[in-house]
Amino acid sequence: MSNLKAGFSRANINPPMGIPIRGYFKPRFAEAILDDLEVNALALQLGDVTTLLITVDHCGLEQKITDAFRNAASEASGVPADNVFISATHTHTAPEVLLETENELIKEYTTFVQRRIADVSKFAVSDLKDAKMGFGKGKAPNVAFVRRYRMKDGSVATNPGVNNPNIVHPIGDIDDSVNVLRFDREGADTIVFVNFGNHPDVVGGSKISADWPGLLRKDVEIILDGTKCIFFNGAQGDINHVNVHPKAGDFNNMFNDFDDVSRGYAHAEYVARVVLGGVLQAFDKVHYIDVDKLISKQEIINVPSHKPDPKDMPEAHRINDLHNAGKDNELPYEGMMLTTVVAEAGRMVRLENAPDAFDMRLSAVVIGPIAIIGIPGEPFAGIGRGLKETEGYEMILPCCLTNGSQGYFPMQDSYDEGGYEARSSNFKAGVAEFIISEGQKLLTSLK
């Protein structure tokens, strides 16, 4: 019998109205709250090792922010900062969080979130109780779709629009598996850890929402009495909720938004219910195991930057200046193509004088035969599949936007073919394959 202990804590992090919302290439400001934003924390302890796994309802937290938050969590809980794993759920309807800003609302909110993270870290450790762990897997069909498509003219488009007659076929494959860890605790609620890869950009607009991950947590706790749910998003860089060829009622309660993406709050509720179905498939039939080790490790890798060609810089500056001046209407693009061009120009300007390579932190937590690996950005589904092929583990759970937010990590073919993610990525072609290789090395070293 293992001596594993598990603890849980949660705090509300709803923002003040009027605060800028992160997630689009257009300004948005919070005007209402549809559902609560939260920080959730899972503490695990085995012997003298304690680890904190924390999720924040946010689009993506930069490394300097997660470093500050991890230090705050460590100071409050006594858990070493290297054993703190902070992941953003990637909701596109949550506020900006910045350490360096002139905006007073953002300053105040960032401090507030940091304090909440410290609180849940302390409370989760205080909540540690004897536990047994089981793991299982379900499926969530037809709510996650590849968002890159081959078009009739041979080009590649990201989110080309619903019922676009020029679509030929999707590029890539989805992973619709719902990974579940179950921690049954003596005299306390069972903790349900859920991992599934899909963009939470279903709600849209200017109203605060945790999107389907937050709705999923609530659904799990309603249906499974006596549980607490924590959700970690998976490898979702090229995956979202848009079915470009809807049939029958597929498009119910949705609308086409400004960027050719179909959205709707009721559809977020639907996605949450389908993923809930995957959780329910696994929950009662998890495989219980004795946990004989608990290890946390960080690995820094050095990845070449996607620096621009100097000859492209005049046009990049022109596009970037127009966008920053609020003059997108003067650019000859619309919908997702406008987003792509603006994002690419922003990347060129951002990296014009950048170093030739950037450090990237990979984070791993091993719980017996289960491995959780965190990637500090938005990995394509192919990265998740590659990491899952690491030998020696019963289950591997890839988590996006963990201990950093460094943009997209597209597969090699995305650079060859073009598209929003590759054109806007901070990293050169080969980044995905490098992450797979280095991630497998990290996991292998912890077996």
pLDDT score, position 288: 98
pLDDT score, position 111: 98
pLDDT score, position 433: 97
Q: How far apart are the first and last CA of the chain?
A: 20
Summarised one tens digit per residue, pLDDT across range 146-170 is: 999 999 999 898 999 999 999 999 9
Query: Which residue, among 308, 424, 306, 280, has the nearest Cα to 358 in the 3D structure?
Result: 306
Summarised one tens digit per residue, pLDDT across range 27-51 is: 999 999 999 999 999 999 999 999 9
pLDDT score, position 2: 73
**Could you give the CA distance from residue 398 to residue 403 in angstroms, rounded to a whole number?**
13
**Could you give the CA distance from residue 120 to residue 41 in angstroms, rounded to a whole number?**
6
pLDDT score, position 230: 99
Query: Which residue, among 393, 395, 352, 433, has the nearest Cα to 138 in the 3D structure?
Result: 395
Is 88 buried (19+), middle (13-18) or exposed (0-12) by CB count in 10 A? buried
pLDDT score, position 259: 86
Query: pTM score, two decimals?
Result: 0.94
Sites in the chain below the pLDDT cut of 50: 1
